Amino acid sequence: MPAFIYKLSSAGILLLFILIVELFSAVLPPLFPWDPTEESVRLGLALFSPIGASVGVLIGFLLNQAHSNINHISSLVATEAGQINNLDRLLLRFGDNQSLEIRNKLKGYLESIIRDEWPELKLERGSNKTHLKWRSISQDLFKLEPKTPKQLAIYTEILETSEQVAESRESRIDRSSQKLPKVFWFSMIILLLAICSISLLVGTDDHISPFGMGIFPIVFGVMLGLLVIFDQPFKIKNGIKSGALEKTYDSISTRNE
């Protein structure tokens, strides 16, 4: 999908695809002049409903999948924020100078996710700067030396939570690159051609025009626009934000006990 599309607002994307489908529907008929016959009209009317319904079911199913993907990513970001928050609490409870130094690094890591890595997710990748900050934290965590039974118990939780933080980051980055395959968009073009071909068979028959073919570009365009919005939630202008991580950053910044 061209990069300029994702610079538009959600409403702008919907309007763009409505215009594209409307233009496509208007340009195709003059290219293939056809004088409808009684048989072609009957055939067109018979095909329009099942093909239109099939397109609606297909796009509806994909919209549901794409929307579920957005909910999953939002949940993933919230979970990652919670894990980082828990790791900070554990480091504070560990209570030695080394763990307090790691806390400062953890705060810098979280800030790097928000400022450095989040923009990179639009390019379907993570930030090397953020990766290096986490690697430094991981190395320091293994250098902690628990001296009391309480510290030993906390240290075990610290290692488990740090693994969860690393896994959540990898999952978030992986999700940023997941999208509908190109064959889907090719299929949508074929279906659009099929429905426009039906309009050629029918011509200006009152059973399907102007309402049937007039409302079609709006419905089809809106569905395609919604798919673009839901398919790449990190890329669109009003997509998934780092709000949960920012709240955790504020919480860590003010935590003293």
In a 10 Å sphere around its CB, with 0-12 CB exposed, 13-18 middle and 19+ buried, how is residue 68 labelled?
exposed
Q: What DSSP character marks residue 113? A: I
Q: Which of 81-85, 91-95, 148-152, 191-195 has the lowest mean pLDDT?
A: 191-195
Q: Supply the pLDDT for residue 248.
A: 95
Q: What percent of the chain has pLDDT over 70?
A: 83
Contact residues for 174 (Cβ-Cβ < 8 A; gap 6+): none
Q: What is the pLDDT of residues 19-61, one digit of tens each?
A: 887 777 777 666 666 666 677 667 766 777 777 677 777 777 7
Q: Which of 4-8, 11-15, 156-160 has the lowest mean pLDDT?
A: 4-8
Inter-residue contact 44 to 208 (CB < 8 Å): yes
In terms of C-beta distances under 8 Å and separation of at least 24 residues, what long-range contacts does 145-150 make, across chains too?
145/98, 146/94
pLDDT of 135 strictly over 70 = yes
Q: Supply the pLDDT for residue 211.
A: 44
Calculated CA dihedral for residues 17, 174, 117, 155, nearest 10 degrees? 150
Q: What is the pLDDT of residues 74-93, one digit of tens each?
A: 899 999 999 999 999 999 99
Q: What percent of the chain has pLDDT over 90?
A: 39
Inter-residue contact 32 to 232 (CB < 8 Å): no
Gap between the Cα atoms of 129 and 110, Å rounded: 12
Higher pLDDT, 171 or 232: 171
Q: What are phi and psi of 203, to 5 degrees?
A: 70, -130
Q: Supply the pLDDT for residue 199.
A: 66
pLDDT of 206 strictly over 60 = no
Q: Where are the domains of the chain?
A: 3-254
Higher pLDDT, 151 or 47: 151
Q: How far apart are the first and last CA of the chain?
A: 48
Q: Supply the pLDDT for residue 177.
A: 82
pLDDT of 212 strictly over 60 = no
Q: What DSSP character marks residue 34? A: -
Higher pLDDT, 118 or 28: 118
Alpha helices in 113-231 (DSSP H): 118-121, 128-141, 149-176, 182-202, 211-231
Inter-residue contact 102 to 141 (CB < 8 Å): yes
Gap between the Cα atoms of 103 and 109, Å rounded: 10
